[in-house]
Structure 1
């Protein structure tokens, strides 16, 4: 998670079992969204989610249809 100017605010580190990169990208985005909501930033600041993964982008657009197995 970083600011508009590129300053890193949050990093996700730790050992990971082998579920695939898309899974971890979705989980990182989910965590950032939870932080965003918990910090009460909705309506106060914007959030941009970037990804080059079609799986992840599909989840963002239609979460109920693409994460059935996660």
Structure 2
């Protein structure tokens, strides 16, 4: 998997989504990072709610979702 930047949409954050997500297919989450924080949003609703995780919380989430 690789990541690709999403279109800007005027955000101060640089958002990335998985290369597994296509422009015409199923939408997925997008992630942006700042020092100490991982930001997450729904790619179908870019101006909707966003979540922010501390880096330890994000690492725990990613390791959980990646599976064994």
Place the TM-score, normalised by the shorter chain, in its bin.
under 0.3
- Which structure has more strand as a fraction of its residues? 2
| Relative contact order, higher structure (CA 8 A, sep 6+) | 1
Question: What TM-score does the superposition give when structure 1 sets the normalisation length?
Answer: 0.26
Question: What TM-score does the superposition give when structure 2 sets the normalisation length?
Answer: 0.26
- Which structure has more helix as a fraction of its residues? 1
